[in-house]
Every structure is written in C-alpha cells, then in structure tokens.
C-alpha cells in the first residue's frame, strides 16, 4: 500500500463510519489557521472537541480546500468500522512511532501505543485521519493531549514550532515558560491565570516564528500532580475540572466554559523564561542565556514529542536567539510569580538584571 | 579564516618541543582527525555554548567556552593538533594544552558524540563558519568540560508514547525492566 492509497482507504473508512454512526463537526481556527474537525461516533467528538484549543468559527459549507487542517477521527468500537488499511505487520516504526515505509515529505503515517492508535497526515492538503480500534486501550495522555504526534507534524508543516512549554500573557504580550516536567510550568501558568493573565497552555504551545514570535494555544487541558491540585485549589475556578481523574496521579482540567482563559488569537512573545524550583526561596528572576533556555526547551520537547531532529533543533535554537532569556527561580509560594511575570512583560522583556541574548 | 594557517606554525613548534621516542605516537595522536557523529546526535551552538542531544538515549550535553570552540573545530574537520593550536591562540596557560585536548577528545569519543574520521589529514575545510574571533587579550585557559545531563533519559527510555503505568501515565523503566 502506498501513503496515497492509505489516505484513500482512510477517507472511505471514515465516510462509512460516519454513515453508520453519525457524528458532528467543529469548525474554527487553530493557531490562526482555519481547521475542521470531523467525527464519526461520539468518542472523539468528546475528546478532541474538549481538549483542542480550536476557537469556534463560522460553520457552514466552506470547501475543504480552504482548510489548513481537516481532521477526521473515529473509533471502531462505537462505529463498527475499522480502518481498511490491510496488515500493518512488517512495517518499520521509528523511535517517534512513525511508519518509515509510509512516510515521506508529503505524508506522515504513525502507529502509536502498540497499534492502538493510527494517524495519517497529508501535509499538502491538510487532510488528516485519526483512528483507534478501541478507545479503552488508549492511555490517559491521549485523553488530555490527543493526537499530539499528528498535530506536531501538522504544525511543523505549517511552519509552526511545537514547544514543550507554557506561555502566559498580560495585555498584548507574553512570555514562554520552559522546563522539563516538574519544573513548574503548570503551577506558574495557573498562578498567572488566577491573577488575571492569559495563557496559551501549560504543557504544549505552538510558536509562530517571526519578529516577534507569537504563541498559540494547542490544547485547553492542564495537568497537575494531584498534590499540586490540592495545594492550588484556589487557582482552579477558571478551569473546568474533571473530577473522575482525581484518583489518578494527575488532576485534569480543561479551559472551557464561563470564565475560561482566553485562548484564541495568540500573543507576541517578548522573552523566554527557564523555570527552576528552589525550595525555600523567594521567587526571583536570574540572568540566563539563550543556550540555557535551549537546554530547558529542546531535550524535554524531544522527550515529549520524539520529533526534534536537526532541523527541529535549529528552529528551537532560532527562537532562543530571537528573544531575551531569563531564569525564573520558583520558591514554595507561587503567589508573587504573576507580578514578576507582569513586570517582565511590561518592560518588553528587557529587565535590567541583564538578560543575555 | 586564520585557523587553517596559523595553527600549522604552532604545530611545528609543538613537534619541535617533543623529543625522543614519544614523538611518533604523539604525532599520530595530534594528527587524528575527527568528525561529528551525526544522527542520532543533533546539536546547535548559541552564545558560545553548544547543546548536543542524543535522540536515542535522551542524554544531552553542554559544551561551553573553549569546549564549544573545540566542537566547532571538529565540525570543520580539524585534527587534534589543530584544535590544540587554535586554543593556544585564544588562551594562555602555564601547561601545554594538548594533553587536555586529547583527554577531552577521548571523552567525546567515549560518549559517542564524535568519531575518528577516515579522511586524510589534509581535508580540513578552508573556512570555519561559526568560529568567534579571538579576543584581543587571551584569557587563561579554563579547561575543557563536557557537561552531561541525564534527567530526561529515564523518561525517553520509558518511551512516553508506548510505556505507561496502569493509570496511563508515562512511567520510567524500573531497574528490573532495564
């Protein structure tokens, strides 16, 4: 089977699933680009519709050719229709779960979670297919950050850089918060939200290169260790909380509904901030360097998305070269952090403590 | 750039200093040429610091100051001797720099960040894009340091796309699983 034949098969399978089980569509914008999410059955409508930061736009009959992304998602369990792809046996999976023989400059075909999730992207047309045989086999991260490999590949084709980072804004400008898991991205972003700032996400952020670079939301979901959730409960009113996740390791929240943070449109970035937790300290900025921020950003993005190759690293490095770099030392109390961030943003990223470029 | 011309003089001087039976082996060592390994190692250099990442293991490295300069020279195809000579143009030291260079190159080899090149010794590029200009006054040589970070190795080896615990969250491998 060729990638084009696989796309044809996926299109036909999705159409059949839609015919049998029905489904809905969401049309709007993701990172400022027109997108359409089409679902067969209700599993992905619930999942992607809730977790993806698609700003609802006008519905109607815009032609598919106007869409930067036309994502079709279905599962076999609720629709009774499998992806008619033939056997997947014998294909080579890269460390990023990409099927080597079916992927090229135009197509990316990936097979994740030991075959429990397949995705196909046509970078030229923006056509994408996301399929799972049985949603009960999916791990929790697919519920909170669904289709992240597919979306990261799409974003890259769109010239966007997917960062394992948080981004917060005050007024018309913001900063990118970098650090591996546990560095304090979520807590910092939630503290900023609670103080009335905006956020483009606390785990994955799309960055549009340019002068200045702009941050866009990819997901609405926020994850916190349960202990953090309990300690920061007062930060939560801005987020819908999914209570049934609380008995797990992490609390999951989605920025939806009344009072939810503004996730549309994106905002220009004025600085990059590497986060570091230092118990017993008072939160403060410290000088840093572009290289230090790249160290905080690139390896963890690689670990999360598995797709930072030499060109991807060069894009992240270019981002780090463009903006002033700081280290934000986080203490035990996140309360002073929003004012620190506000001061940095108000100065346009030019705090006197000597950011280095 | 100056790197292809002036180091040769310094090399001759270095050889002149070396006498006796050790000269052959040292000559051999300083004429070793290296090249960056390439995939799965990806790298970039910003602000006089090189970040290198092993995509397979998740280990990542920082090379600052003269160590980043060594990296750029190796990328340009410099021999061990040319690396030492270039450093001598930029730093002062009471001790010969070449032993530190050799030890550092061995460390890079051990970490599989570079490989010994098969190319003949005269194939160095004639220009070295990315090399900073030498400072007007040479600072003291601070040594060559390869900083290795392993904090992400366990998560990458766990393969967050595949390996999850019973609740579905990515989990590091246990010692037994390794």
Contacts with A96 from chain B: Cβ below 8 Å: 161
Max CA-CA distance within chain A? 63
Whether the pLDDT of residue A37 is over 80: the answer is yes
- The residue with greater pLDDT, B67 or A46, is B67
Q: What's the pLDDT at B86?
A: 93
DSSP A38-101: EEESSHHHHHHHHHB-PEE---S---GGG-SEEEEEEEHHHH---------TTPPBPTTSBBGG
Are residues A313 and B167, on separate chains, in Cβ contact within 8 Å?
A: no
Cα angle for residues B162, A185, A330 (degrees, 5° grid): 135
Candidates A239, A10, A282, A252; CA nearest to A120 is A10
The strand pairing partners of A290, in sequence order, are none
B151 to chain A: closest CA residue: A180
Which residue reads 């600085």 in tokens?
A271
CB atoms within 10 A of CB A5: 12
CA distance A5 to chain B (A): 26
Q: What's the pLDDT at A353?
A: 62
- Measure the CA–CA gap between B42 and A118, rounded to whole angstroms: 28
Interface test with B, best of A110, A112, A139, A251 (most B CBs within 10 A): A139
Establish if B171 touches chain A: CB-CB under 8 angstroms: no
Q: What's the pLDDT at A255?
A: 55
Are residues A289 and B49, on separate chains, in Cβ contact within 8 Å?
A: yes
B116: tokens are 């010994």
- Measure the CA–CA gap between B172 and B178, rounded to whole angstroms: 10
Could you tell me whether strands A325-330 and B34-36 are parallel, antiparallel, or unpaired per DSSP bridges?
unpaired
Whether the pLDDT of residue A356 is over 50: the answer is no
Q: For A162-196, how does the pLDDT look when each residue is reduced to its tens digit (9 = 90+)?
A: 999 999 999 889 999 998 877 888 888 888 877 88
C-beta of residue B72 within 8 angstroms of C-beta of residue B133: no
Establish if A306 touches chain B: CB-CB under 8 angstroms: yes
Candidates A148, A146, A183; CA nearest to A165 is A183
A94 to chain B: closest CA residue: B56
Average pLDDT, chain B: 75
Q: Using CB atoms, which residue from A113, A290, A310 is nearest to B161? A: A113
For residue A31, the 8-state DSSP code is T
Please tell me whether residue A139 adopts helix, strand or coil conformation: coil
Q: For A215-251, how does the pLDDT look when each residue is reduced to its tens digit (9 = 90+)?
A: 998 988 765 544 555 555 555 544 444 444 444 445 5
Which residue reads 């280990």 in tokens?
B59
Establish if B160 touches chain A: CB-CB under 8 angstroms: yes
Establish if B125 touches chain A: CB-CB under 8 angstroms: no
Q: For B126-139, how does the pLDDT look when each residue is reduced to its tens digit (9 = 90+)?
A: 555 567 778 888 99
Are residues B47 and A313, on separate chains, in Cβ contact within 8 Å?
A: no
Are residues A141 and B164, on separate chains, in Cβ contact within 8 Å?
A: yes
Whether the pLDDT of residue A318 is over 80: the answer is yes
- Measure the CA–CA gap between A108 and A90, rounded to whole angstroms: 17
Q: What's the pLDDT at A263?
A: 56
- Please, which pLDDT band fits residue A258 given cuts at 50, 70 and 90? very low
Q: Using CB atoms, which residue from B56, B60, B149 is nearest to A95? A: B56
- Measure the CA–CA gap between A24 and A38, rounded to whole angstroms: 6
Are residues A299 and B60, on separate chains, in Cβ contact within 8 Å?
A: yes
Q: What's the pLDDT at B159?
A: 41
Whether the pLDDT of residue A40 is over 80: the answer is yes
Q: What's the pLDDT at A112?
A: 82
Contacts with B162 from chain A: Cβ below 8 Å: 97, 112-114
Q: For A43-72, how does the pLDDT look when each residue is reduced to its tens digit (9 = 90+)?
A: 888 788 878 888 877 555 566 677 899 999
Q: What's the pLDDT at A243?
A: 40
Please tell me whether residue A97 adopts helix, strand or coil conformation: coil
What does pTM read for this prediction? 0.82
Termini Cα distance of chain B: 48
Establish if B58 touches chain A: CB-CB under 8 angstroms: yes
C-beta of residue A329 within 8 angstroms of C-beta of residue A286: yes
Backbone angles phi, psi at A174, to 5 degrees: -150, -175
CA of A61: how far to CAs of A65, A136, A147, in Å?
Answer: 11, 33, 25
Candidates A205, A294, A287, A319; CA nearest to B149 is A294
Are residues B47 and A298, on separate chains, in Cβ contact within 8 Å?
A: no
Are residues B156 and A180, on separate chains, in Cβ contact within 8 Å?
A: no
ipTM of the complex: 0.79
């Amino acid at each position: 089977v060729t990638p084009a034949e696989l796309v044809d098969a996926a299109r036909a399978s999705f159409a059949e699933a839609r015919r049998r089980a029905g489904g809905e569509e969401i049309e709007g914008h993701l990172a400022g680009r027109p997108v359409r999410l089409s679902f067969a059955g209700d599993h992905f409508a619930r999942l992607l519709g809730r977790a993806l930061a698609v700003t609802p736009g006008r519905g109607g009959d815009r032609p598919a050719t106007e869409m930067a992304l036309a994502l079709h998602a279905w599962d076999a369990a609720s629709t009774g229709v499998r992806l008619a792809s033939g056997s997947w046996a014998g294909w080579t999976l890269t460390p990023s779960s990409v099927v080597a023989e079916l992927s090229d400059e135009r197509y990316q075909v990936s097979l994740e979670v030991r075959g429990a999730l397949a995705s196909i992207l046509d970078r030229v047309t923006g056509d994408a297919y996301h399929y799972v045989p049985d949603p009960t086999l999916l791990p929790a991260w697919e519920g909170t950050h669904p289709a992240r490999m597919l979306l990261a590949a799409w974003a890259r084709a769109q010239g966007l850089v997917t960062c394992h980072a948080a981004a917060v804004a005050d007024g018309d400008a913001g900063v990118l918060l970098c650090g591996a898991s546990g560095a304090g991205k979520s807590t910092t972003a939630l503290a900023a939200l609670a103080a009335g700032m905006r956020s483009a996400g606390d785990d994955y952020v799309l960055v549009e290169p340019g002068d200045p670079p702009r941050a866009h939301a990819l997901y609405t979901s926020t994850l916190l260790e349960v202990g953090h959730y309990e300690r920061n409960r007062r930060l939560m009113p801005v987020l819908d909380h999914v209570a049934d996740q609380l008995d797990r390791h992490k609390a999951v929240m989605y920025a939806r509904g009344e009072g939810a943070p503004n996730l549309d449109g994106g905002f220009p970035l004025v600085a990059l901030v590497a986060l570091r937790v230092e118990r017993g300290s008072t939160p403060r900025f410290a000088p840093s360097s572009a290289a230090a921020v790249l160290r905080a950003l690139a390896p963890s993005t690689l670990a999360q998305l598995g797709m930072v190759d030499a060109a991807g690293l060069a894009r992240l490095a270019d981002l780090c070269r463009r903006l002033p770099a700081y280290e934000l030392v986080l203490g035990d109390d996140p309360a002073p952090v929003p004012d620190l961030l506000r001061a940095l943003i108000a100065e346009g990223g030019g705090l006197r403590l000597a950011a280095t470029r | 750039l100056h790197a292809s011309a002036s180091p040769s003089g310094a090399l001759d001087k270095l050889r002149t200093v070396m006498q006796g039976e050790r000269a052959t082996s040292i000559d051999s060592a300083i004429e070793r040429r290296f090249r960056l390994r390439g995939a799965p190692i990806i790298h970039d250099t910003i602000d006089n610091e090189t970040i290198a990442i092993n995509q397979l293991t998740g280990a990542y490295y920082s090379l600052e100051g003269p160590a980043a300069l060594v990296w750029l020279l190796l990328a340009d195809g410099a021999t061990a001797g040319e690396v030492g000579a270039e450093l001598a143009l930029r730093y002062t030291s009471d001790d010969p720099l070449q032993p530190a260079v050799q030890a550092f190159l061995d460390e890079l080899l051990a970490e599989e960040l570079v490989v010994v090149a098969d190319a003949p010794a005269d194939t160095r590029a004639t220009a070295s894009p990315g090399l900073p200009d030498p400072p007007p006054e040479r600072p003291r040589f601070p040594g060559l340091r390869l900083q290795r970070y392993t904090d992400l190795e366990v998560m990458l080896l766990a393969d967050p796309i595949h390996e999850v615990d019973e609740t579905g969250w990515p989990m590091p491998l246990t010692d037994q699983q390794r």
